[in-house]
Each structure stands twice: as structure tokens, then as C-alpha cells.
């Protein structure tokens, strides 16, 4: 077997060297590993043994045998007649009870699944020990020993369900209380993948993923996995969603515990390939002829082999000592996404807007001084007929007024040419947006039993992912002229040791490593030759700072006043390195009726990451300067502003520095599962989480502290909105790139100085979380059980809160200038003047010291489980939670509201009256002060109907209230309707709230011809199976915003919403999903009255089906050939997705995209 494993490593072109290093790492962990962050990967059996009269029997010998490995473990009942067997690997078991004077009692066919806590009681009969009374275990059982709320996906479901994309996220969404925002055919990839699943109203980044008990989590904040294991490598997994025991922590959302397959006493394996091709697919609703069907290619292929490590009589002759499992998979995807985006009309590139219904106004002299507006016109004078403040004659901009840089960028092709018209006749680009992905994954697991009391297992996983995004990811880009390549190697290593000290005392120790790298490189997309500044672009003064502009990149160009096209290279190129080391120790002790478990853990997370920020600069054009006089609430034309070179704002990061972040955490817990009597079990636990804040290893962090701001050093502002060189509170940066650059530092704190802690804010150590659960067997026969519980779960604070503060002064500097020219963002449009080296007010993002606490979730549930028969269990539950200190951001530097109209007209923000902290631009601090709550009625049916049909069905009626718009990350007060009122003014449906959610899955063995006496008929027509996954759900909330200038847009990072002028009708047509005339823009300087997430988008009705046939070669050996034909969106229902939601957009109220049409997939698998 060793030879076989190394043979497999030779065919891996990814990293033979890394694989050898992995063996060395695994050996070191075996020798030196002492503790582990591994939990939940195994199962527990509890039970009570009684005599015919019901009296308990002590000292009964309990033998539990794992059928796959023949490993037998023995236990004994205590004085209360109880026994507990913990840390049992998943699989099939036989349990035998033996006592003098009684017949042997045995239960066969018990299936233990990940995280199970299963009760197996025996009532022994008087008689000779040579006699045996055997019963078969029920296929489906009620949970009579725990109040935990969870959902299991079995190995059979993993193998036989039609899983679109063949990824865990799709299966995780098949749980009561789950709300999915996943792209149905998203590739099965880890970091950066589509992980949009929320459980019981908790945000996506509150989930945690465990692989063999070790953390498999991307800590950046997106709530996804670091390793996306092959479905063919997973034995099964369980999603814990509420009231789980105290040994689970670091998460208040879903806890997904995945278990890798392992070897058995028999050599076995399989090889597979799954193929998709758009030639078999239906056409997307928004991709009509004659356009080409969006390209879709998928090849997922691999193999695995498992068995005992044996060398005949020399080693492991009984095949019970050492086992191996090895899995190799390649995934190759080409997902031809569809872009449906309004783009500038090429006829307007030369300034001709004569066919445009919007009046194009000449900027007023107060907005743009003539020396700037007419700089390139003969004599610097206005062309004939052009009068500032009046419409352009014929709605045409004279050529001398068009900015050379705008012409150069448009000629280079930063925006795609239109190839279609939308429902309102506006130029639109519709086309493919291919995103090819290549992934290679290698998994190895070793299990070794030193004795029946001491066992060890370990795994090593290596993934290499390369993805090309046709539209730049993690940015505001929405056109396929700029994309990026995303490289992501990820690794996982776990070693877990179990030692049975006595029949009532067991110790588990383990070590876990989880790491990944991210490398993002931008590339020029469709129609654009290069990302470098094009010929004709005047770059002499095109940036504020002289730091490096990697690749000499084109600045971001955002058209935000009707067209809403965004060309953004963003922060790329960009790199990230993350390493997570965790150790843990757990002890299980049975004492009378108490099954105690207690343990502790320690972890350190190290991250090296480039800062996010655009050193190439970012221009925003929204129609401010071509808006007709007196109509500020009706934007002009964003393209016209761009052609004139009159930018509403310009932002730039001086230095794209690198941060070295560390996070150290501790935890300790105690759990008591107390069998009060034969009907009542209490689950009593207490957990402490020590989660101090992340810190930068070199203290290269700055944060704003109101307590450090000295009013006596109030900034002296110049008329151009910059800080005077004579102002108090000035200093310089310790960063050599910013040497000599003066900064206004009043209120800025650095770790280790002026009492500022290393993590910028004080740590909160009193994170004690009680866990209380109960299970009450109503009738005493495990037929009907009332279950419930309460727990406080603390959420580890996402890393992005700290990483986003990296660009702050004094080590870096991000600035925003309002009303500047495209040629020189340091020149103000209103005056044409600029300081030779202005002291720019900084934009700040950081942590609010007064409110920055650990997010906490108060979770509770109560329900009834009833066994309908030996193969069916129905669960009905109420599940709810109240969540405090949820992630959000507040704006700390607001002007007097009376200043808003002037700001909309182009006045400098930093000169606005009433600013709390003059000398700064935006100050946005994460406060962790938002609240949310969730209430739900959940129904779960788990049934095996006859011998042929397995059915799992769920229904959830729920309501999530959360001020955040989306489930990934925190709510952002840039999205509230009134920043002066704070997040409480925007409490409404969470962005992932679905009122109704129905899901069911089934596996049906078609019995026809299965038992035919004709071998030919049986082979050809028998052995067919059909399976399916069906989801039906209400639409997600829609948040209506405004396009162009209005009250909120006068504030940094704030967006206003409109007024509602009555009730909203829903025509539910493509051209008008909702009545777009029911909204009006509020008065200039006022805030809209429409509530948060007030409308609803399209719902879902999706069927995925699989038909497969097995050709059996040998029933005795289990070898077979399996052919599969699968379809996703089987009935080809058009399922609309995105709706344009900004009042003022050309597509406002229109449906702009749909989920995939019917997609076919063919697969073949060989099993031996």
C-alpha cells in the first residue's frame, strides 16, 4: 500500500515536493503533536442496561465493534447502569452487552454519523450467556439525549444527489432555517468562492467549517472555506445551527462538520468524471438569438483508493492496525457568465447628445471656472453659443471642451461598445463573461490503531486554484474590459489522537494547520489592449502622490449618474498569506448519570496582506456639472461630465503597504450531559472564549480616537479644502515613501503610544457563554421527544475590520478631493488653483473604541420530534435568536445638515460647516453596535418509504430583522437612509431574509426489473435510480437607492433612498418588476422616507434531477460501473435574479438577469 500511495504522488504534477514535505509534517505531528482544535468529527453512543424488572445492572460488559475496520472497544456500565462511548468514528456498528446470568443482548446495523449522540439501551433477559438476543437498529431515530438543532447530510446523499457544482455549499443549504444566495452552478472552490448560505438569520461570515474536526475557514470575513474538499472524499457532514454544546465555539451561525473518508479492512476505490457542455444546455432568458449561448464547460475527474496498510504476515496481517485513504481530483470550469449592462453610446463619445432626452447643461462659472472649462479652446474662450449655466446648443459639446484624457480612455476601449438596446431603447452591452477555473486537489488520510485503547489519525490536503474573472472581482467593476487572475493555493493538516485511560475516562489531543495564499493579477479584458495608461493620456499630474503605481494602471472610472458603468482595476495586483495553527485537548469522563466533557484550546492566526486601495486613483462622474440649473435632484449625464473632465470626486491611496497581522485566541469549556432519569436528559455547559483583537506585528497601524482629539489643535482650513501648513496638530509619516509629506494627526493613535493598546481597542474578556439544553421522552419509549435549549454564542470578530484600517495615516494616506479635473486631480474646478503640495484631509477607516465588543447571539429553540414508524421521524420546532453587538460602521465626521445642498452642488466637504473633526474627510469606524433578531417555524421530515424511497423534506417560515443589506460582513452605515439617525433608523428585513423556504431531496431505487429472472433484462433495464433536490423560496429583499446627486451623496460613503408616494404594485414583468413610478427623489438636502429592504425580488422554484444506472460486475466485491445523467433547473423555469434598484438608473425597476437555464451533466463512475 505504501508503494501504491507513492505511485499516486508521482502522477501529481502539482507538487511532488510539497507532498513529500507533507509526509514529514505528518510524521512530526504524529511524534510531537499534543493537543488539537479538532472536535465534532466523531460520534457518541450512550445507553442504560436494565433487567426484566427495569432495575439497572452495573458492570455489564459493552463491546462496540466498528464494522469497517473490525476495531472493538469495550466499556462497562457504572453503578447507575449507564455507559458512554465517545469519539467513535462514523460508520456501521454492532453493540453487544454481556453479564453473568443474562442472555447476551446485541444490536446490529447501527449507523453512526458525524456528530451523532445516539442512545442504545438494553433490557437483558435472564438466561445462559451462550444465548443471544439480537435486534436490528432503526433506520431513523429520534434524538432523545440532546436539545441541539442540526441537519445531517449522509454519505448516500453525498454520492447520489444531483448537486449542482458538486460543492458543499449547495448541500449545506438543505437545512431548516437555511437561506441561500449561492449562484446555482458556482464552481466548487474555496477562498473567494460563492459561500452565500446563512443559518437562522445569522450572517454568512458567522459560519465556521470544520474538516475532520480541524478548522477549515477563511478568516478574512467572507464566511467561506479555506479548502473545498471533493464530494467523493467526504464521508458525510452535519450542519449545527442552534443550541449546540459548549465544545463548539468561535461561531454563532452554522457550524459545518465534515468528515473525510477513511480506509477499511478491504481494498476499495473509485474513479469518476462529470462533464458539462453548453451544446446540451438551454438558452438564458437574457441571451436571445442571434447571440451565442453563454459558454459553459465543466470537467470534474479524479480517483480515490483506500484500504489497509499491510505487508502480509510481516505487518498488520489481520488488517486492523493501519488504514489509508487517498483522493485526487481535478476540476476544470468555464462559466460563461452573462453581462447585461448599460454602456455609453459611442455616438456620444464625440460630445453629440442630440438624440438624448436629457438636457446637457454647461457647468456654471461657480462650478467650473472658465480658465479650466475652456482651457483647450482657442484663446481660452467659450465657443460660440456656449454660455455657462445654459444648455449646450443642440445638446452637443464642442470638441475643444472634451478632455484629452477622456478621449484617450474611450478610444482605448475602457467601456465595451453597445450591441443591443434595453427595454427603454438605451445602448446596452450583452455578452459572455467567461470565468475559467482550474483546481487540483490532493487528499491523504492515515488511521492507525496502536491498541484498542490508543488510536491516531491524520490528514493532509493540498489545493491549487487558478481562476480568471472576466469582470474584476472584489471591486465595483461591471464591464468585461478589465478582469483578473485569482491564484489560491490552500493547505490543511490535522493530527488527532485518542487514548482510553479507563472505561469511563478518555482523552483526545490534536493539532490543526490551515493555510492559504492569494495572488491576484489584473488583465485587460474584451476590447482593451492594455491596462497601462493609453497613448494620448496626459499623466504628468494625473496623481496626487508619487508612490508606485503598479503596472502604470489606468485609474478607476465610475459613471454613476444614469449609465452606471464602472471600469475598476481596483487594488490589483494584490497578495495575501494566511496561516492558522491550533491545538486542543479534551477529556471525557463518565460519572454516575453524568457524562462530563471539558477541554481547552489555543490558536494563533498569522496573516500577511497587501492593503486595499487604489494607488492609481479613482474618479467618480455622476452628472453633477451638466445638471440643468435649479434641478439638482435630476442628474445630468455622467458621460457628459466625463467628457468634460469634471469629476465629482477623486480618491487615491498614497501607499499600498503590507500588513503583518496576528491573532491569538484561547477557549475553555465544560459540558455535562446529565441523564436525570429515563425520560429526561439535560445538556448543561459553560464556555469561555478569549478572543483578543487582531494586532499588527510591527505596530504599523493608525486609528482615530475622539478622546485624543485636542480642540485646541483644531485644523486651520484653506479655501481649497486642504489643511493650512500653519495649522496646529501637524506631523509627518514614519513611512519612507511619505517622507516629508505633512499630515494632520490630531486624534490619531498608534499602538503602544498614549495608552493605545496593541489591537487598537481594549479586549473584552468576559465572554462566558452558558449552554442549556433538554430532551424529554414523553412516553418513555423513544417515540415522542420534546427538545429545546438556550445558549449564548460569541462570534470571533472578522479580520477585515482590522485590515481595512491598514491604509490609515500616518503609515499610509488615503485622500478624497471633490470637484477636480480629470487631467489633474489636485486642481479644483471652481478656482483652477492647487497647492504645490497640499496637506490633504485624510479618509479614515478604523475601530470605535467605545463600542467595539464581541458580537453575541442569544439562541433558543423548542420543538417536538415524533417517530412515525421505524423509518420516519417528523420534527416541528420554533427557533429564534436575539443578536447584540453585530458588525456595523458609523460616520463620525458629519457636517451640519444645512450644508448638504451646497455639498451636492460641488462645495468642498472638508469646508462644510459643523464638521465634528475639521482637518479630516470621512471618519468611518466599526462600532459593533447593531442588533438583529430571527424567529422561525421549522418542519423537518426524515423518512424511508418502503425499501426504495428515501425522502428528506424541510419547510421554514421565518423573519430576519437586521440593518445590514447583505449577509457577508457587517452592515455599513454608508447604506443607511439617514446617517445622522444611525443604524436604528434602518432596521428592517435582513438582506438574506426569505419568508417561505421549502426544500426536499429524495433518492428512489426504481424496483421495475430489479428482480427479473432474465439476466439480460435485469442488466439492461434493472438497477435504475432517480434522485432530486427541489428548492422553492420567497424572494430576497430589495433595497431601493438613488442614482446621481441627492442628499446622502453629499456625504462620504453614504447613499440616500427615495420617498415612497403610496403603495407599490408588482407587475412582475421583465420591463417592470415593481411599479417604478411609486418613488420620487426627496428634496435637495433631505433624506428619503422609504424603509430598509422595503421591496421583494423574484423567488425561486428549482428542480435538480439525476437518473443513473449501475452495471454490477461483482456483487460480492461491490464492483460496478455507474452512469449518470443529471439536469439542473430540470423543467427550464426562467428564474429571474437581479432587478435594477436605483431610482434614476436607465433600467430602474427592470429585471436584468436570470439564473441559469436547464443545464445537463453527464457522469460516469467506476467503483471497485
Question: Could you write out the three-class secondary structure of 267-296?
Answer: CEEEEEEEEEEHHHCCCCCCCCCCCCCCCE
94: Cβ–Cβ under 8 A, 6 or more apart, which residues? 64, 65, 67, 106, 107, 108, 109, 110
Whole-angstrom distance, CA of residue 958 vs CA of residue 975: 24
Task: Please tell me the predicted confidence (pLDDT) of residue 127.
Answer: 79
Q: Which of 472-476, 517-521, 747-751 has the lowest mean pLDDT?
A: 472-476
C-beta neighbour count of 107 within 10 angstroms? 21
Whole-angstrom distance, CA of residue 686 vs CA of residue 792: 9
Cα-flanking dihedrals φ and ψ of residue 794, to 5°? -100, 145
pLDDT bracket for residue 140 (50, 70, 90): confident
pLDDT bracket for residue 454 (50, 70, 90): very high
Whole-angstrom distance, CA of residue 93 vs CA of residue 73: 11
pTM: 0.85
Kind of pairing between the strands at 82-88 and 178-180 = unpaired
Name the burial class of residue 585, with classes exposed (0-12), middle (13-18) and buried (19+) by CB atoms within 10 angstroms of its CB. Answer: middle
- Given CATH 2.170.130.10, say whether it is the number of domain 149-260: yes
Cα-flanking dihedrals φ and ψ of residue 646, to 5°? -105, 100
Q: Is 110 helix (H, G, I), strand (E, B) or coil?
A: strand
Instruction: State the average pLDDT over residues 964-977.
Output: 50
Instruction: State the average pLDDT over residues 936-941.
Output: 97
Task: Please tell me the predicted confidence (pLDDT) of residue 550.
Answer: 67
Above pLDDT 90, what percent of the chain?
51
Whole-angstrom distance, CA of residue 200 vs CA of residue 859: 10
Whole-angstrom distance, CA of residue 1 vs CA of residue 307: 8
Q: Is 846 helix (H, G, I), strand (E, B) or coil?
A: strand
Terminal alpha carbon distance of the chain: 16
Instruction: State the average pLDDT over residues 384-401.
Output: 95
Residues 795, 252: contact at Cβ < 8 Å? yes
Candidates 228, 541, 248, 241; CA nearest to 405 is 541
Give me the DSSP letters along 1056-1087.
Answer: ---EE-S-------SS-SS-GGGEEPPPTT--
Candidates 1163, 715, 1128; CA nearest to 911 is 715
Whole-angstrom distance, CA of residue 269 vs CA of residue 263: 10
pLDDT bracket for residue 737 (50, 70, 90): confident
pLDDT bracket for residue 221 (50, 70, 90): low
328-348: pLDDT as tens digits? 999 999 877 778 888 888 888
The CA-based angle 398-401-403, given to 5 degrees, is 130
Give me the DSSP letters along 193-232.
Answer: S---EEETT--GGG-EEEETTEE-B-TTTT--BS----GG
Instruction: State the average pLDDT over residues 199-218.
Output: 89
pLDDT bracket for residue 690 (50, 70, 90): very high
Task: Please tell me the predicted confidence (pLDDT) of residue 441.
Answer: 97
Task: Please tell me the predicted confidence (pLDDT) of residue 964.
Answer: 66
Cross-strand partners of 494: 459, 512
Task: Please tell me the predicted confidence (pLDDT) of residue 731.
Answer: 95
Task: Please tell me the predicted confidence (pLDDT) of residue 631.
Answer: 58
811-820: pLDDT as tens digits? 988 888 888 9
Name the burial class of residue 394, with classes exposed (0-12), middle (13-18) and buried (19+) by CB atoms within 10 angstroms of its CB. Answer: exposed
pLDDT bracket for residue 431 (50, 70, 90): confident
Cα-flanking dihedrals φ and ψ of residue 897, to 5°? -55, -25
Has residue 7 got a pLDDT over 50? Answer: no
Task: Please tell me the predicted confidence (pLDDT) of residue 20.
Answer: 43
The strands making up 566-567's β-sheet, listed across from edge to edge, are 566-567, 556-559, 618-621, 646-653, 814-821, 842-847, 920-926, 888-891, 971-972
Whole-angstrom distance, CA of residue 1156 vs CA of residue 164: 11
Give me the DSSP letters along 494-514.
Answer: EEEEEEEEETTEEEEEEEEEE
Residues 147, 774: contact at Cβ < 8 Å? yes
Residue 707 gets which letter from DSSP? G
Q: Would you list the domain boundaries of the chain?
A: 149-260
Task: Please tell me the predicted confidence (pLDDT) of residue 629.
Answer: 66
Whole-angstrom distance, CA of residue 89 vs CA of residue 141: 19
Average pLDDT, the chain: 87
The residue whose grid cell reads 458629519 is 894
Has residue 1 got a pLDDT over 60? Answer: no
Half-sphere exposure of 298 (CA within 13 A, CB side): 23
**Rounded to whole angstroms, what are the CA distances from 631 to 297, 675, 817?**
50, 73, 24
**Rounded to whole angstroms, what are the CA distances from 140 to 89, 143, 874, 1012?**
19, 10, 10, 30
Name the burial class of residue 378, with classes exposed (0-12), middle (13-18) and buried (19+) by CB atoms within 10 angstroms of its CB. Answer: exposed
Instruction: State the average pLDDT over residues 983-993.
Output: 83
Name the burial class of residue 818, with classes exposed (0-12), middle (13-18) and buried (19+) by CB atoms within 10 angstroms of its CB. Answer: buried
Cα-flanking dihedrals φ and ψ of residue 48, to 5°? -130, 140
The CA-based angle 181-182-183, given to 5 degrees, is 120
Whole-angstrom distance, CA of residue 400 vs CA of residue 638: 19
**Residue 702 grid coordinates:** 493608525
Has residue 536 got a pLDDT over 90? Answer: yes
Whole-angstrom distance, CA of residue 1143 vs CA of residue 1041: 6
The residue whose grid cell reads 474611450 is 410
Residues 439, 310: contact at Cβ < 8 Å? no
Has residue 28 got a pLDDT over 90? Answer: no
pLDDT bracket for residue 17 (50, 70, 90): very low
Task: Please tell me the predicted confidence (pLDDT) of residue 192.
Answer: 67
Residues 562, 543: contact at Cβ < 8 Å? no
Task: Please tell me the predicted confidence (pLDDT) of residue 18.
Answer: 39
Task: Please tell me the predicted confidence (pLDDT) of residue 965.
Answer: 55
Instruction: State the average pLDDT over residues 596-622.
Output: 92
Give me Rg for the CA atoms of the chain: 32
The residue whose grid cell reads 446596452 is 428
Helix/strand number for the chain, H first, E second: 10, 59
Task: Please tell me the predicted confidence (pLDDT) of residue 491.
Answer: 96
Q: Which of 114-128, 183-197, 555-569, 906-920 has the lowest mean pLDDT?
A: 183-197
Task: Please tell me the predicted confidence (pLDDT) of residue 1052.
Answer: 66
Has residue 937 got a pLDDT over 90? Answer: yes
Q: Which of 19-23, 711-715, 846-850 has the lowest mean pLDDT?
A: 19-23
**Length of the chain counted residue by residue:** 1168
Amino acid at each position: 500500500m505504501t508503494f501504491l500511495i507513492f505511485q499516486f504522488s508521482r502522477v501529481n504534477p502539482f507538487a511532488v515536493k510539497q507532498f513529500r514535505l507533507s509526509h514529514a509534517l505528518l510524521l512530526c505531528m504524529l511524534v510531537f503533536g499534543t493537543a488539537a482544535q479538532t472536535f465534532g468529527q466523531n460520534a457518541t453512543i450512550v445507553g442504560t442496561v436494565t433487567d426484566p424488572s427495569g432495575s439497572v445492572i452495573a458492570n455489564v460488559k459493552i463491546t462496540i465493534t466498528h464494522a469497517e475496520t473490525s476495531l472493538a472497544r469495550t466499556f462497562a456500565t457504572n453503578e447507575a447502569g449507564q455507559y458512554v462511548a465517545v469519539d467513535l468514528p462514523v460508520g456501521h456498528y454492532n453493540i453487544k452487552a454481556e453479564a453473568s446470568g443474562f442472555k447476551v443482548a446485541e444490536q446490529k446495523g447501527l449507523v453512526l454519523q458525524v456528530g451523532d449522540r445516539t442512545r442504545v439501551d438494553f433490557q437483558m433477559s435472564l438466561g445462559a450467556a451462550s444465548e443471544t438476543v439480537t435486534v436490528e437498529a432503526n433506520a431513523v431515530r429520534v434524538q432523545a439525549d440532546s436539545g441541539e438543532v442540526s441537519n445531517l447530510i449522509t454519505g448516500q446523499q453525498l454520492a447520489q444527489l444531483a448537486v449542482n457544482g458538486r460543492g458543499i455549499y449547495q448541500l449545506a443549504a438543505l437545512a431548516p432555517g437555511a437561506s441561500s444566495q449561492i449562484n446555482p452552478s458556482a464552481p466548487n472552490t474555496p477562498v473567494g468562492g460563492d459561500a452565500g448560505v446563512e443559518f437562522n438569520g445569522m450572517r454568512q461570515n458567522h459560519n465556521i467549517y470544520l474538516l475532520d474536526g480541524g478548522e477549515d475557514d477563511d478568516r478574512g470575513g467572507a464566511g467561506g472555506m479555506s479548502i473545498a474538499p471533493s464530494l467523493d472524499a467526504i464521508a458525510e457532514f452535519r450542519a449545527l445551527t442552534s443550541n449546540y454544546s459548549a465544545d463548539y465555539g468561535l461561531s454563532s451561525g452554522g457550524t459545518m462538520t465534515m468528515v473525510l473518508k477513511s480506509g477499511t479492512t478491504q481494498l476499495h476505490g473509485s474513479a469518476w468524471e462529470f462533464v458539462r457542455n453548453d451544446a446540451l444546455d438551454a438558452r438564458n432568458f437574457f441571451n436571445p438569438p442571434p447571440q451565442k449561448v453563454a459558454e459553459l464547460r465543466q470537467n470534474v475527474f479524479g480517483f480515490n483508493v483506500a484500504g489497509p496498510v499491510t505487508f502480509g504476515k510481516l505487518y498488520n496481517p489481520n488488517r486492523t492496525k493501519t488504514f489509508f485513504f487517498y483522493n485526487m481530483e481535478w476540476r476544470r470550469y468555464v462559466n460563461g457568465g452573462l453581462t447585461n449592462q448599460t454602456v455609453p453610446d459611442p455616438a456620444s463619445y464625440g460630445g453629440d447628445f442630440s438624440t438624448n432626452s436629457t438636457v446637457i447643461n454647461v457647468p456654471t462659472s461657480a462650478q467650473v471656472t472658465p480658465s479650466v472649462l475652456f482651457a483647450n479652446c482657442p484663446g481660452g474662450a467659450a465657443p460660440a453659443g456656449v454660455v455657462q449655466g445654459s444648455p449646450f446648443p443642440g445638446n452637443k459639446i464642442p470638441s475643444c471642451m472634451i478632455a484629452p484624457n477622456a478621449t484617450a480612455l474611450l478610444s482605448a476601449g475602457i467601456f465595451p461598445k453597445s450591441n443591443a438596446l434595453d427595454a427603454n431603447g438605451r445602448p446596452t452591452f450583452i455578452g459572455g463573461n467567461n470565468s475559467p477555473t482550474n483546481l487540483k486537489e490532493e487528499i491523504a488520510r492515515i488511521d492507525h490503531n496502536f491498541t484498542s485503547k490508543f488510536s491516531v489519525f491524520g490528514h493532509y490536503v493540498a489545493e491549487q486554484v487558478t481562476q480568471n474573472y472576466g469582470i474584476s472581482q472584489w471591486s465595483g467593476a461591471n464591464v468585461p474590459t478589465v478582469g483578473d487572475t485569482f491564484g489560491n493555493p490552500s493547505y490543511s493538516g490535522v493530527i488527532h489522537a485518542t487514548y482510553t485511560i479507563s472505561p469511563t475516562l478518555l482523552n483526545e489531543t490534536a493539532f490543526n494547520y490551515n493555510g492559504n495564499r492569494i495572488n491576484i493579477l489584473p488583465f485587460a479584458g474584451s476590447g482593451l489592449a492594455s491596462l497601462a495608461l493609453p497613448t494620448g493620456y496626459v499623466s504628468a499630474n494625473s496623481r496626487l502622490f508619487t508612490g508606485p503605481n503598479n503596472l502604470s494602471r489606468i485609474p478607476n472610472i465610475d459613471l454613476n449618474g444614469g449609465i452606471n458603468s464602472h471600469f475598476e482595476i481596483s487594488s490589483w495586483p494584490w497578495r495575501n498569506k494566511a496561516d492558522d495553527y491550533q491545538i486542543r485537548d479534551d477529556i471525557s469522563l463518565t460519572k454516575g448519570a453524568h457524562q462530563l466533557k471539558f477541554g481547552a484550546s489555543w490558536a494563533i492566526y498569522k496573516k500577511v496582506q497587501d492593503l486595499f486601495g487604489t494607488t492609481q486613483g479613482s474618479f467618480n462622474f455622476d452628472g453633477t456639472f451638466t445638471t440643468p440649473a435649479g434641478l439638482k435632484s435630476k442628474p445630468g449625464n455622467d458621460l457628459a461630465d466625463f467628457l468634460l473632465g469634471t469629476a465629482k470626486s477623486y480618491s487615491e491611496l498614497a501607499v499600498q503597504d503590507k500588513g503583518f497581522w496576528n491573532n491569538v485566541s484561547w477557549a475553555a469549556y465544560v459540558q455535562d450531559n446529565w441523564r436525570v432519569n429515563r425520560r429526561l436528559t439535560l445538556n448543561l455547559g459553560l464556555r469561555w472564549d478569549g478572543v483578543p483583537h487582531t494586532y499588527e506585528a510591527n505596530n504599523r497601524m493608525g486609528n482615530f480616537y475622539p478622546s485624543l482629539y485636542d480642540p485646541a489643535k483644531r485644523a486651520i482650513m484653506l479655501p481649497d479644502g486642504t489643511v493650512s501648513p500653519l495649522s496646529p496638530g501637524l506631523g509627518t509619516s514614519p513611512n519612507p515613501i511619505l517622507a516629508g509629506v505633512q499630515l494632520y494627526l490630531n486624534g490619531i493613535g498608534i499602538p503602544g503610544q498614549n495608552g493605545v493598546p496593541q489591537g487598537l481597542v481594549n479586549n473584552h474578556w468576559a465572554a462566558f457563554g452558558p449552554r442549556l439544553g433538554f430532551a424529554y421522552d414523553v412516553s418513555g419509549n423513544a417515540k415522542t421527544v420534546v427538545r429545546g435549549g438556550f445558549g449564548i454564542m460569541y462570534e470571533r470578530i472578522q479580520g477585515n475590520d482590522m485590515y481595512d484600517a491598514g491604509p490609515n495615516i500616518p503609515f499610509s494616506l488615503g485622500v478624497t478631493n471633490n470637484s477636480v479635473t480629470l487631467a489633474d486631480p489636485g486642481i479644483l474646478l471652481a478656482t483652477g488653483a492647487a497647492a504645490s503640495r497640499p496637506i490633504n484631509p485624510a479618509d479614515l477607516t478604523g475601530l470605535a473604541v467605545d463600542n467595539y465588543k464581541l458580537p453575541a447571539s442569544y439562541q433558543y429553540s423548542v420543538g417536538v420530534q415524533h417517530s412515525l414508524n421505524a423509518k420516519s421521524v417528523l420534527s416541528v420546532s420554533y427557533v429564534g435568536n436575539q443578536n447584540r453587538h453585530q458588525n456595523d460602521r458609523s460616520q463620525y465626521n458629519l457636517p451640519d445638515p444645512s450644508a448638504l445642498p451646497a455639498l451636492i452642488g460641488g462645495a468642498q466637504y472638508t469646508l462644510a460647516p459643523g464638521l465634528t473633526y475639521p482637518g479630516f474627510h470621512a471618519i468611518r469606524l466599526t462600532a459593533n453596535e447593531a442588533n438583529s433578531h430571527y424567529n422561525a417555524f421549522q418542519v423537518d421530515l426524515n423518512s424511508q418509504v418502503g425499501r426504495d424511497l428515501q425522502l428528506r423534506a424541510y419547510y421554514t417560515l421565518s423573519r430576519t430583522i437586521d440593518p445590514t443589506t447583505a449577509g457577508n460582513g457587517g452592515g455599513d452605515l454608508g447604506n443607511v437612509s439617514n446617517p445622522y439617525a444611525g443604524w436604528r433608523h434602518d432596521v428592517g428585513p435582513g438582506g438574506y431574509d426569505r419568508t417561505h423556504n421549502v426544500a426536499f431531496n429524495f433518492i428512489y431505487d426504481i424496483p421495475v426489473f430489479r428482480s427479473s429472472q432474465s439476466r439480460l433484462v435485469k442488466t439492461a433495464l434493472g438497477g435504475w435510480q432517480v434522485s432530486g433536490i427541489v428548492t422553492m423560496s420567497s424572494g430576497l429583499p430589495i433595497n431601493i437607492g438613488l442614482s446621481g446627486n441627492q442628499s446622502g451623496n453629499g456625504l462620504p460613503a453614504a447613499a440616500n433612498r427615495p420617498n415612497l408616494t403610496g403603495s407599490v404594485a408588482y407587475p412582475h414583468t421583465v420591463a417592470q418588476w415593481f411599479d417604478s413610478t411609486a418613488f420620487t427623489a426627496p428634496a435637495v438636502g433631505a433624506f428619503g422616507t422609504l424603509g430598509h429592504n422595503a421591496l421583494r425580488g423574484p423567488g425561486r422554484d428549482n428542480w435538480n434531477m439525476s437518473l443513473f444506472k449501475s452495471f454490477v460486475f461483482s456483487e460480492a466485491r461491490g464492483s460496478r460501473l455507474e452512469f449518470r445523467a443529471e439536469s439542473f433547473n430540470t423543467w427550464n423555469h426562467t428564474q429571474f435574479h437581479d432587478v435594477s434598484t436605483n431610482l434614476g438608473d436607465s433600467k430602474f425597476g427592470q429585471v436584468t438577469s436570470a439564473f441559469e437555464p436547464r443545464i445537463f451533466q453527464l457522469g460516469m463512475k467506476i467503483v471497485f
